[in-house]
Amino acid sequence: MRELTLHLLDIAANSVSALSQNIHIEVVEDTINDRLFMSVKDDGKGMDAEMVKKVIDPFVTSRTTRKVGLGIPLLKAAAESCNGWFKIESEPGKGTLVEVEFQRSHIDRMPLGDLPSTILTMIIATPEVHWTFRYRVNQEEFFFDDEPVKQELEGVPLSDPMVISFLRDYITEGIQSIQPPE
Amino acid sequence: MEKIKSLEDLKKLRAEALEKRTAKVISGQKEVIVGMGTVGIAAGARETLKAILDYIESEGLTDIVVRQTGNIGLDSFEPIVQVVIGDQAKVTYGRVTPDAARKIMKEHVVGGNVVKEYHIEGK
Task: Quickly list DSSP for A4-64.
Answer: HHHHHHHHHHHHHHTT-SEEEEEEEEETTTTEEEEEEEE-S----HHHHHHHH-TTS----
Q: Which of B3, B9, B65 sits opposite A159 (nearest CB)?
A: B65
Is it true that the peptide bond before B79 is cis, omega within 30 degrees of 0?
Answer: yes
Q: How far apart are CA B7 and CA A170, in angstroms?
A: 9
Q: CA B91, CA B112: separation in Å to the nearest integer?
A: 11
> Is any Cβ of chain A less than 8 angstroms from the Cβ of B12?
no
Query: Is B71 in CB contact (< 8 Å) with chain A?
Result: yes
Contact A117 B64 (CB under 8 A): no
Smallest Cβ–Cβ distance between B18 and the set A17, A124, A156 belongs to A156
Domain boundaries, chain B: 23-118
Q: Is the ipTM of this complex over 0.85?
A: yes
B35 touches chain A (CB under 8 A): no
Fold of B23-118: Glutaredoxin (3.40.30)
Instruction: Spell out the domains of chain A, with CATH numbers in brackets.
Output: 4-176 (3.30.565)
Q: Give the residue among A79, A51, A85 at the shortest CA–CA distance from A67.
A: A51
Residue B24 forms contact with A (CB below 8 Å): no
Predicted TM-score of the model (pTM): 0.91
C-alpha triplet B56, B93, B98: angle, nearest 5°: 45
* pLDDT value of residue B1: 42
For A30-65, write each residue's pLDDT tens digit.
999 999 999 999 999 999 998 898 888 877 655 555
Q: How many residues does chain A have?
A: 182
Answer whether B46 sits within 8 Å of A10, measured CB to CB.
no
B73-99 per-position pLDDT tens digit: 788 899 999 999 988 999 999 999 999
